[in-house]
Structure formats: structure tokens, C-alpha cells
Amino acid sequence: MFQATGPEPGLKWQSLASILRQSYPNVTGMLDVACRDALGTLVLTLLSQSTTDRQAQAAYASLRKAFPRWEQVLAAKPRDVAEHIKAGGLNQQKAVRIQAILARLQDEAGALSLAWLAKKSPAAAREFLLSLPGVGPKTAACVLLFSFDMPALPVDTHVARLSRRLGLVSLKASPAQIQQELEAMVPPEAARHFHLALIEHGRAICRPRRPRCDDCRLASACEYGKESLPR
């Protein structure tokens, strides 16, 4: 098992971010590419839980085609909502959560929209999002970052794996702890690119199994890479 021995994580992220900027200058993600409102971002992120971006996008497109207005999603039978998002998996559970979120917005905000969150502080916006059914730290951070440009750094499976391997956080840190530590470490203006580039790097090079350390531009700053590559 490798140990973190390099520079302080607070300094280290800067050299990593610089290499990532050179390696992935124009990286975009699922939530970057599609243009939609914050509620759409929230629903798409919910649909992406435990599945791939492609399947989540297929489920989202199918849902919006069947029910172009959120009022229609709220009024639909749960089984009909589930039917139209089945491409994303866990469709029964996700349908219940989506309708519960819509009902909550209707009751508390009087509209099927999250636009009003833009006027809240980042802390208050995050607190509200976290109070919604099925919304955890990663989903809330995705909405804050991609829809409101508020300070947040979502931690998905790729960001968590790379953060541990690179030595930015403890190997035992939970995704919620990693998110807290990265948000304290990475300035808000750098968070979007850092998040997207780590995901891209995790898919292309630093895969869960057999990471391609010998082909990795981060290797010199990576605790796992230092241990696994010949000296």
C-alpha cells in the first residue's frame, strides 16, 4: 500500500491543475454540454446516479420528450415516469424521487423551478438542495457548480479515486470527506476544470483497474504512480 509522501496537498493540487489544464484544455462534461435550467441539471444528475452519462442522457431525453413540461412530470402516474426513464436504471426509485422533488418545489416555492436559488447564498442553496429526496453532496454540488456558478467541487467515482491515488486526500477518505477537502483546497474559479479534467483523466488513463501509470502526465506528482513505476 502506498503512502502519501509528496508536498502538502494544498500546494500539490496547483501543479496537478497546471498539467491537467495543458492536457485537457477544452474538456467538457455532460452537464456542460447540454443547455437546460437548474431543475433540469438536478434531474439529469439524479438520473446519472449508478449509471453512465450516456444512459442518463438517454433517460433524460426520453422523459422530456414524453413530458416536455415539469408540470406534466408531476401530474403523471409514477409508473409512466418510471417507464420513460428506464434507460437509466433504478427507474422506480428515481421516478419517486423526481416526483417528490417536484411536489416539494410546488408546495414550498410555488413553482417548478430552482431559479430562485440564484438569489440565495451558496451555503443556503446547498442546504436546500441537500434537503431534497435523493440529493447527496455530489448531486447538490453539480447543481451549484454547473447551474449557478457557485463554489462547489462535485466528487464522483473518478474524482474520488484520483484524489486518493494522487495523494490529495487520505486513502480512507469517504466521497463526502473528499468533497469537503477539495472544496477547501481548490479555488472556486478552478473547480470546474479540475473536476472535469479529473473525470476525463480517470476514464482515459487512471482507470479503476490497471491504471496506465507509464503513460500518465501526472505520474511525477502521483503517490500511487511513484510506487508503481520503475525507479
Residues of the shown chain interacting with ligand SF4 in the complex, contacts defined by CB under 6 A: 162, 165-166, 205-206, 211-213, 216, 218-219, 222, 224-225
CB of 228 vs ligand SF4, minimal distance in Å? 7
Helix axes 175-185, 9-23, angle to 10 degrees: 90
Closest approach of ligand SF4 to the CB of residue 145, in Å: 22
Is 144:126 a contact under the CB 8 Å cutoff?
Answer: yes
Residue 162 or 173: which CB sits closer to ligand SF4? 162
Q: Toward ligand SF4, which CB reaches closer, 32 or 214?
A: 214
Nearer to ligand SF4, 150 or 222 (CB): 222
Shortest Å, Cβ 180 to ligand SF4: 21
Question: Percent helix, strand, coil in the chain (nearest 5)?
Answer: 65, 0, 35
Q: Which helix (H) or strand (E) holds 147?
A: helix 137-148
> What is the smallest separation between the CB atom of 160 and ligand SF4, expressed in angstroms?
13
C-alpha distances (whole Å) from 120 to each of 56, 107, 142 are: 28, 18, 16
Cα gap 45→57, rounded to integer Å: 9
Of 4 and 205, the one with the shorter C-beta distance to ligand SF4 is 205
Q: Report residue 17: phi and psi, to 5°.
A: -65, -35
153 versus 166: smaller Cβ distance to ligand SF4: 166
CB of 190 to ligand SF4, least distance (A): 18
- DSSP string covering 191-211: HHHHHHHHHHHHHHTS-SSS-
Residue 76 C-beta: closest distance to ligand SF4, Å: 44
Rg (CA), the chain: 19
* Alpha-carbon gap, residue 224 to 1, rounded angstroms: 9
Query: Of 77 and 212, which CB lies nearer to ligand SF4 in the complex structure?
Result: 212
